[in-house]
Structure 1
Amino acid sequence: MNSRRIFLQKASASAVAISIPYLPSFSKPLSENEEKSSQSDKVLRVAIMGLGSYGTRVAKAMEDSNRAKLVGLISGTPSKVEAWKEKYSIPDKNCYNYDNFDAIKDNPDIDAVYVITPNALHKEQAIRVAQAGKHVICEKPMAINAAEAKEMVEACDKAGVKLLIGYRMHFEANTLKVVNMRKTGEFGTIKFFQGLSGFMIGDPTQWRLNPTLSGGGAMMDIGIYSINGARYMTGEEPIWVTAQEVKTDPVKFKEGIDETITFQMGFPSGVIASCLSTYSMNNLDKFFLNGTKGFAEMQPSTGYGPIKGRTNQGPLDEPHIMHQTVQMDQMAGIIFDGVEPEIPVDGREGLKDMVIIDAIFKAVKTGEKVLLV
């Protein structure tokens, strides 16, 4: 946080630019022999790092997964490990704490580690997992800034392992239906996107309201959905951002924790996105995409329950499957079979969102338009 604040304080009063770091792609198509030998039914054996509420959700999702199985635990709380061991029949040799989990290097039972810890811990933990030779699945936001995200991508490339980000919406059926309608031109020329992301946060002592652990407030936790959604719904990358912050409770939302930020993004074609990120309002979670021939609106647009909405052609009514179950099955395909998802979920995709978040924080600080170049 301190480095981010120092960086922001040095920003000039005029429009400033944030460079998107160049990272060469190390992915390659499967050869004919590799394609033939790929195992479409191979199960991804996962250790969960961080046994909190979302870790619990992912574990439950894997109970119904065809291609992913919970086989290991990493936690700093021994009582949680004991309870999970019993519930999921995890052997002692697959259980670790935050000090000794580097030993997974010598454990052939584990293919990947899903990092579900506070944001500020992601970089170090993901890099250690990569150095142990295991694939990394990291919950969003992947880091607390773009510099850290870039380090994670480079470390996983160097180790020759996959880095995937927990973008569950990239596999959700109604979301993919809208994206495909946009791709086939059914909405015409896209002109506008609106993303409203937020809820009233509770317990003021939780880690999400601790700037040292979270790296920010609502933007990191929930606003990132509107950033990411704007990108996959429009099919473009933003070239500038502007942003404004409102803070009504400086005690609960201390320095470094944003309460409410409205932000705008401009895209190369002229599309404008108008978005809201907040920890002090409910009844949001809405996406709206408008084109010259039609529209799509979704509410809820990113929640855990069924995604609901409609387009100019009728209701969105694809069947609902627990998002994390679909995500884990699809990630097994990415890791083992070289499957390319409709919407990327790799580390470079996560890095793009972190570049935009950095730019939004800079726009709040300077009051100026920040260019993304």
Structure 2
Amino acid sequence: MKSRRDFLLKLGGSALTLPIVSALTPAEAATPPADKQLRVALVGLGSYADRVATAMKDCKLAKLVGGVTGTPEKIDKWSGKFGLDKANFYDYKDFEKIKENPNIDAVYITLPNSMHHEYTLRAAKMGKHVICEKPMSVSVKEAQEMIAACKKANVKLYIGYRLHFEPYTRELIRMRESGELGKIMHVNTYDGFKSGDPKQWRLKKALAGGGALMDVGIYCINGARYATGEEPIWVSAEEAKTDPVKFKEVDETVTWQMGFPSGAIASCATTYNFNNFERLYVIGEKGFVELGPAFGYGPIKGRTHKGEMSWDTSKMHQTWQMDGMADCILNGKPEPNISGEEGLKDMKVIEAIYKSIAAGGKKIMV
């Protein structure tokens, strides 16, 4: 592959075992100690990378220092916009030169899903810590190889689960872990939006690996897992497609159920077909938590059986995320289920859901 840009242009022309660690309270996640900084280069300077870079302006422990792009003109734009040294920018073909740069400690891979595997393996060989955007890969096999490569290189592999540092989500987890909700009986979770440009990479299976399920349905899977504190043992799923032309290669709308060892059931759905579809509702024997919006960039809102939730929403989620991840790497803070192993668990569920769809909704063991 010459570059991400070349690949995109070419393709465009063609048709958790839990419990979650509770050491981080919302307040601690929002204000980590500022003693050292993790120096990060973003791999793939698209729209999400821009969001991460903007959020990192307010970070205390993480610092953006460079990037990797197949579009040379972006170097001038990014170095000017974010005050970065041009010496810390690279092309995909000379990606390995980052190994020689002592000013880069970690890379954050924000490329299309199918490229996560390759660049994680390449980064690990360079001895750099890896943050990989979700989903971590397009298959269980790739996820396992990514974990093995980072372990062999003795570098950290974190998945971009920004919500694991977000205050409303942290409070939901705290309430569940503390027993305030009692035994979890049921979870209802859904996330989706109306997809726009039919030529975008997210609708190309070779780049995305799947459709709505891979993109935002993963929030529903991950959310149900941290809401129950358990791993699903079976799934049953169906797909609906209203536009077989636009969504020829990937899934449009998926509904599924997940069963957990305690007997709790999660009813979930994801879509690329309509907006205003975002909720996480957790019902326990003693109480409930409802987040809505629950998974987007914010502000997240919520209520419980005790009343309305109120947490700090002044920061971008990625600010909490990057400072939190830096705190884990630099200061040994316990990881709130953001590791490659966490990403692998979600990939196992995703594969089981696709198998169930292919089998006509048959129950598949995870």
* TM-score after normalising by structure 2: 0.89
Which residue identity is paired with 1:102? Answer: E
Instruction: Pick which of 315-324 and 56-65 moved more.
Output: 315-324
Partner of 1:331: 325
Residue identity in the other structure for 1:137: I
Aligned mates of 2:160, 2:121 — CA distance in 1 = 16
Aligned to 2:185: 191
| Maintained 8 Å contact 1:127/1:152 | yes
1:123-179 per-position Cα deviation (integer Å, ceiling 9, x unaligned) = 001110110110000000000011101100000000110000000000111111111
- Which of 71, 77, 81 is 1:77 aligned to? 71
Cα distance in 1 between the residues matched to 2:153 and 2:94: 19
Separation of aligned partners in 1, 2:53 and 2:178: 36
- Is 1:354 aligned to 2:347, yes or no? yes
What residue in structure 2 maps to residue 313 of structure 1? 306
Is this contact kept in 1: 2:75–2:86, CA < 8 A? no
User: Which residue is equivalent to 2:279?
Assistant: 286
AA matched with 2:284: G
Aligned partner of 1:144 in structure 2 is: 138
Match of 2:45 in 1: 51
Residues 277-330 of structure 1: CA distance to partner in whole angstroms, max 9, x if unpaired? 100021111000001111111100011121101000011111112110010001
Tell me, yes or no, if structure 1 residue 243 matches structure 2 residue 245.
no
Give 1:115's aligned amino acid: I
Corresponding residue of 1:91: 85
User: Does the 8 A contact of 2:42 with 2:110 survive in 1?
Assistant: yes
2:330 maps to amino acid: F
User: Aligned partners of 1:215, 1:127: CA distance in 2, in Å?
Assistant: 18
The partner residue of 2:227 within 230, 233, 241 is 233
1:40 Cα deviation from its structure 2 partner: 5.9
Q: Which amino acid aligns with 2:80?
A: E
- Report sequence identity in percent: 55
Q: Which residue of 2 aligns with 1:118?
A: 112
The ranges of structure 1 where at least 4 consecutive aligned residues each deviate by more than 6 angstroms after the TM superposition are: none
Equivalent-residue separation in structure 2 for 1:309 and 1:93 (angstroms): 44
In the TM superposition, residue 93 of structure 1 has moved relative to its aligned partner by: 2.0
Q: What is the one-letter code of the residue matched to 2:182? A: G
CA distance in 1 between partners of 2:252 and 2:342 (Å): 25
Offset from partner CA, 1:43-97 (integer Å, 9 cap, x none)? 0100001111110000000100011111011011111122102222322321101
Relative to the length of structure 1, the TM-score reads 0.88
Instruction: Measure how far apart 1:264 and its partner are.
Output: 0.6
Deviates further, 88-97 or 239-248: 88-97
Q: Counterparts of 1:80 and 1:197 in 2: how far apart (Å)?
A: 32
Indicate the RMSD between aligned Cα atoms, in angstroms.
1.3
The one-letter code matched in structure 1 to 2:338 is: V
Q: 3-state DSSP class of the match of 1:280?
A: coil
